[in-house]
Amino acid sequence: MSEPFPAFDQPRHLGPAQREQALAEFSSSEFDLLVIGCGVTGAGVALDAASRGMKVAVVEQRDIASGTSSRSSKLIHGGLRYLEQLNFSLVKEALRERSLLLQTVAPYLVHPVRFLYPLRHRIWERLYVGAGVALYDALAKLGGNKLPVHRHLTRKGALKEIPALDPVSLVGALQYYDAQVDDARHTLAVARTAAGMGAQVATSMRVTGFRQEGDKITGAVARCLETGVEVEVRARHVVNATGVWTDLVEELAGQDSVEVTASKGIHIVVPQKLIRSATGMIIRTEKSVLFMIPWSQNWIIGTTDTKWDLDKAHPAASQTDIQYVLERLNSVLLSPISEADIVGVYAGLRPLLTGESDATSKLSREHAVWATAPGLTTVAGGKYTTYRVMAKDTIDAVIEDLGGGFRESATERLPLIGVEGYEQLWTDRASLAERHGLSVRQVERLMGRYGSGVVEVLGILRSRPELSAHFPGSDDYVLVEAVYAALAEAALHLDDVLTRRTRISIETPDRGLAAAEAIAPLMGEVLGWDDSALARELAHYRARVEAERDSQRQPDDHTADAARIGAPDVRTAGRL
C-alpha cells in the first residue's frame, strides 16, 4: 500500500478539492468579475483584478494555456522586426515589460537569451541591421534594461559562435540579447498567483451562453466538460479574453464588433547537438524572420505565418510548413538538417485584430480593449510579452464601467508565485539536490519550472521517495512532477502534463508516449481514475500524437484533433 500524498489546500493549490470549491462558489456567489479564457491574457486579467481587491472567477474551456499561450516562440521580446514597421511605441512598451519580467515579476521563469544575426551583404546590411539593434538597445535602456548591449562580429567571430554556419556567403554578424520563457508554465504561474489572491479558477469549463438582465450582461453559463453539468456564474462584469475564439464568444452575446483573425505559426524542435552553436540565431525570411532558440537540449526553430480556418483547439503543422522552416534554416547551415532529425513539432494561432492588410504577417500585434455590450468587455490582440499591460488596460476599463471603488494596478511590482525565496534556494541548490537524491542539474531544471515552489514539489518525496525517478524518455523531468501537477497545478488529463506542465510532447522523438504509461497511474491516484478512465487517457494521448503525425505528413492543413482518427475528445470523453 503506497503512502498517501500530502494535502495541498492553500488557495494557490489548484487541485481537485479547490476545483470542487470553485464550482460550488460559481453557483452560490456573485463575483465582481468573471474572466472567460485562461491563456496569458485571461490569467493576467484575473491577477490584475484580484490584486486590486476584486472578487474574481475564471473559466477556461480546456486547460490553462491550452490555446496560443503554450504554442508561441516563447520569447519575451520587443520584437526587433517591429522597428522596421516603425512601431517604436510597441517595441518600447514590450522592452519595458521584458525588464519587469526578468527582474521583478518572474525572474526564475524568464531568462536572457543571445541571438546572432548573420550578415550576408557587405556594408549596407551591417549599417542597416546595426542601426536597428542599436535603437533596440536604446529603447530597452529607457525601460530599465540590465541585459548586455549588442556587439558587432567579424566573419571569424560569427563562425566561432556558430560553427554550423555555412561560411561561403557569410560576411560577419551582429549579436544582441532578448529573453525567453516557458510560456505554458508562466501562464500557469500567473493563474496560480491570482488564485493565491482569492480568484476562483476552474478549467474544463466552457462558456456556452450569457446571463442577461435587460440589455446588461450579468454573468455567463458555463458547462463542465468533465461531467456535462451547467452552472450560471453571476458577475457584475464579464471579460472575454479568449484569443482566437473572441468572435465566437462575442456571438454568444449576440455581438460582432471586431474581427480577430487566426494566423498559424509552426515550430520544429531539433536536438542541440545537431547544430553546433553557442547562441540562438535570427535570420531574415522573405515574409518575416526565422528564430533558432535554445531550449534545454534542443533548438526550437520557427516560425511561419499562414491563415488557419480549421479547428482552433488543434492547429497542426503540415508537410509544407515543415519544409518551409527546414529550407530557410538550411539556407544558412553548412550541413543541412533533415526531416528525420526533427524530434518535435507544434503549431499555434496568433489572435490578430483585423487590419487593412490581407497578409496576416502585416496585421497589428497591438492589443485593443473594447466594450462589446453593457457588462461585457473584450480584450484581444497584443503579444505574450505585453500581457500585463493588456490586463491593466482591461481592468482600468472595467473599473470605470463599475464606477470605481478598486485600487490602482500594482502588478508591475508583484512577483509571481515561486519568486519569493528563490534566490536563497538557488544558492543552496547543491544541498537541496543531495537531500533528495537528485543531481544538481535536475534541481536547477526543477527550479526553472517551480522557483521556490520546488520545496513543495520535493516535499512529496518524503512519503514517496520512489517518485524521484525520471520520466521514461527524458531525464529532465521527475515523476513527482506529474503528481504535483494534479495536486496543485490544475492538471486534469495526461495531455495537460505531457504538453504543458512538462514539454516532453515536443522534446522527445516518441512525443512522450513512454512517459504517458508511467505517469498515468500516478495522476490517476490523485484524480481517482478507474481502469477504464486510465485506459481512455492513454488511448486519447496516443491518438492525439498519431493525429499530429498524420497532419504533418499531409501537404495541406489538417487539425490534430484526435477525434479525426476516431478517439473521443478526452475533455468531453464522448459523454457530451
Ligand X SMILES: Cc1cc2nc3c(=O)[nH]c(=O)nc-3n(C[C@H](O)[C@H](O)[C@H](O)COP(=O)(O)OP(=O)(O)OC[C@H]3O[C@@H](n4cnc5c(N)ncnc54)[C@H](O)[C@@H]3O)c2cc1C
Q: Give the nearer residue to ligand X in terms of CB position, either 261 or 303.
A: 303
DSSP 85: T
**Is 232 in contact with 219 (CB distance < 8 Å)?**
yes
Q: In whole angstroms, how close is the CB of 81 to ligand X at the nearest point?
A: 12
Shortest CB 164 distance to ligand X, Å: 23
Q: Which three cell numbers mark 465?
A: 521517495
Residue (137 or 182) nearer to ligand X, CB: 182
Other C-beta atoms closer than 10 Å to the C-beta of 455 total 13
DSSP 75: E
The CB-of-398 to ligand X minimum distance in angstroms stands at: 16
Question: DSSP code of 285?
Answer: -
DSSP track, 509-575: TTTTHHHHHHHHHHHHHHHT--HHHHHHHHHHHHHHHHHHHHHHHSSS-----GGGGTPPPTTTTTT
Q: Which helix (H) or strand (E) holds 217?
A: strand 216-224
Closest to ligand X by CB, 8 vs 31, is 31
Asked if 59 and 224 touch (Cβ cutoff 8 Å), the reply is no
- Among residues 62 and 493, whose Cβ is nearest to ligand X? 62
Q: Least distance in Å: CB of 305 to ligand X? A: 8
Place of cell 474544463: 204
**Smallest distance from ligand X to CB 425, Å:** 28
SS3 assignment, position 223: strand
- Closest contact distance (angstroms) between CB of 40 and ligand X is 5
Q: What is the CA radius of gyration of the chain?
A: 23
DSSP-derived pairing of the beta strands 289-295 and 474-478: unpaired
* Minimum separation from the CB atom of position 328 to ligand X (A): 15
Among residues 456 and 495, whose Cβ is nearest to ligand X? Answer: 495
**What does the buried/exposed string (b/e) look like for 490-519 if buried means 16 or more CB atoms within 10 Å of the residue's CB?**
bbbbbbbbbbbbbbbbbbbeebbbebbeeb
Query: Residue 147 or 349: which CB sits closer to ligand X?
Result: 349
List, as one string, the DSSP characters of 458-477.
HHGGGT-GGGGSEETTEEEE
Q: Which is nearer to ligand X, 40 or 363 (CB)?
A: 40
CB of 97 to ligand X, least distance (A): 9
Whose CB is nearest to ligand X?
39
Give me the residues that bind ligand X (CB under 6 A), please. Answer: 36-42, 59-62, 66-69, 71-75, 77, 206-207, 241-245, 249, 265, 303, 348-351, 382-385
Toward ligand X, which CB reaches closer, 77 or 564?
77
Distance CA 355, CA 363 (A): 5
Residue 41 or 99 having the CB closest to ligand X: 41
The answer to whether residues 78 and 91 touch, using CB atoms and an 8 Å cutoff, is yes
The pair phi, psi for residue 442, each rounded to 5°, is -60, -40
Q: Nearest distance from residue 344's CB to ligand X, in Å?
A: 14
